[in-house]
Amino acid sequence: MLKSEVVKYDIIKESVVLYVEDDKDVSGIIVSSIDSLCKKIYVAANGQEGLDIYTEHQDEIDIVITDLNMPKLSGIEMISRIRDINYDVPIVITSAFGDETMLKKVINLSVDGFVAKPLIIHDLLKIIERTLKPVFYKKELRKKDTLIFQQSKLAAIGEMIGNIAHQWRQPLNSIGVTMMKLEFNSENDNLTREVVKDIIDNTNAIVGHMSKTIDDFRNFFSPNKEKSKFKIRDSIESILALMIPQLINNNIEIKVIGDQDIEIFGYKNELKQVLINIISNAKDAIINNKNISNGLIEINIKPQKDYLKIAIKDNAGGVPQDLIDKIFEPYFTTKFKSQGTGLGLYMSKVIIEKNMKGSLYIENDDNGAIFNITLPL
């Protein structure tokens, strides 16, 4: 019987269960039936033990199955405290209670399922499987978002490597010219101490600039573990230091308007990723519009009553109205397949709205698109 159930209860197989029951005989039967089906099972003999286990392993436990009448801490009290820790965790009750007052308390705690004692294993498994479905789907969505985030970051790394290549071309040319100067002076017996010092100083300055470019690149992709207070200037200047050579190369001017010294509380490097995604998108739109000879990107910083608005505007003609509602969908792109993955703007919206509790939306004006970011101050 259990072999067929292993195949049938696929969601249970991927889940971690907390089972709370003070009756050792009932607990032994249920645990022996569920243990081989689920990924892992924690077992508690009373409500206090169940609460302690859940508190320690809350990030791991997918569902709580519990009796109500137990020593030390009742099931009702345990459920109430678990709900204070995590209101969304699914809870299934196994009980033979007939008390109307207790029934009302259970309803008020928003339990997800009930199986009457004496327990029938098949009925319990069906309830667990049904209750775990939303948990399973949320996990799958988190996995998908994680994958998309990694793909987005890889695409951003490719973009940044292109920016570094543009940054390094001129310094490398300068080093080449310096080496030619060194060779010329050596061949003409003009390699004085002053000439050598000048060449060394000039080369060290160039190498220092190239090293700073690498540091900027490395810091850009360092994940922020915790939110911190930072100035908008810090994000914008580090981005422009990497992007300006490519913008100049494509005859695109970038302007920053407003007070860059405004401080916000959030994830500094994640905001950098959003800004570079939007600026890169504007750059590509300008390049692909053959009617534009002089590109322009404006970053307008506007403090409002209790939030900051950052508007990034371009003169690329805007996004067609039939596409504007799709612009933040994953894998949607208006670029050629070789130019974009359609992940940058999707992840930008996730970062701003989910991680930083702000908003990101797009609108058109007469000249082009405007990406509006609002962040709580």
Q: What is the 3-state secondary structure (H, E, C) of the chain?
A: CHHHHHHHCHHHHCCEEEEECCCHHHHHHHHHHHCCCCCEEEEECCHHHHHHHHHHHCCCCCEEEECCCCCCCCHHHHHHHHHHHCCCCCEEEEECCCCHHHHHHHHHCCCCEEEECCCCHHHHHHHHHHHHHHHHHHHHHHHHHHHHHHHHHHHHHHHHHHHHHHHHHHHHHHHHHHHHHHHHHHHCCCCCHHHHHHHHHHHHHHHHHHHHHHHHHHHHCCCCCCCEEEEHHHHHHHHHHHHHHHHHHCCEEEEEEECCCCEEEECHHHHHHHHHHHHHHHHHHHHHCCCCCCEEEEEEEEECCCEEEEEEEECCCCCCCCCCCCCCCCCCCCCCCCCCCCCHHHHHHHHHHHHCCCEEEEEECCCCEEEEEEEEC
Classified by CATH at the fold level, domain 150-376 comes out as Heat Shock Protein 90 (3.30.565)
Q: What are phi and psi of 190, to 5 degrees?
A: -120, 25
Give burial (CB, 10 Å; 0-12/13-18/19+) of 147. Answer: exposed
User: pLDDT > 70: what percent of the chain?
Assistant: 79
The C-alpha atoms of residue 80 and residue 54 are separated, in whole angstroms, by 12
- Region for residue 76 given its phi and psi (left: phi exceeds 0; alpha: psi -120 to 50; beta: otherwise): alpha
**Structure confidence at residue 340 as a pLDDT band (50, 70, 90):** very low
Evaluate whether 360 touches 371 at the Cβ level (below 8 Å).
yes
Count the Cβ atoms, other than its own, within 10 Å of residue 98.
8
Q: What is the pLDDT of residues 88-130, one digit of tens each?
A: 888 888 877 655 556 666 666 677 777 777 777 777 888 888 8
Residue listed under structure tokens 């908008």 = 232
Assigned token pair, 125: 């498994």
125-128 contacts, C-beta under 8 A, 24 or more apart: 125/5, 125/9, 125/12, 125/33, 125/34, 125/37, 127/92, 128/9, 128/12, 128/17, 128/34, 128/63, 128/65, 128/92
Model pTM? 0.49
Q: Is residue 6's pLDDT more than 50? A: no
Give me the helix-helix angle, 121-187 and 193-220, nearest 10°: 170
Q: What is the pLDDT of residues 234-247, one digit of tens each?
A: 888 877 877 777 78
Assigned token pair, 172: 């490398």
Residue listed under structure tokens 């930072």 = 230
Q: What is the pLDDT of residues 250-304, one digit of tens each?
A: 899 999 998 888 888 888 878 888 888 898 889 888 988 888 888 999 999 998 8
Q: Is residue 373's pLDDT more than 90? A: yes
Listed by start position, the domains of the chain span 2-119, 150-376
**Structure confidence at residue 354 as a pLDDT band (50, 70, 90):** confident
Task: Indicate the range of 51-65, 86-100, 162-176, 287-301 predicted with least confidence.
Answer: 162-176
Q: Is residue 339's pLDDT more than 70? A: no
Class of domain 2-119: alpha beta
Termini Cα distance of the chain: 59
Evaluate whether 264 touches 377 at the Cβ level (below 8 Å).
yes
The C-alpha atoms of residue 367 and residue 316 are separated, in whole angstroms, by 7
Evaluate whether 95 touches 65 at the Cβ level (below 8 Å).
no
The C-alpha atoms of residue 270 and residue 27 are separated, in whole angstroms, by 47
Give burial (CB, 10 Å; 0-12/13-18/19+) of 305. Answer: exposed
Assigned token pair, 105: 């308390």
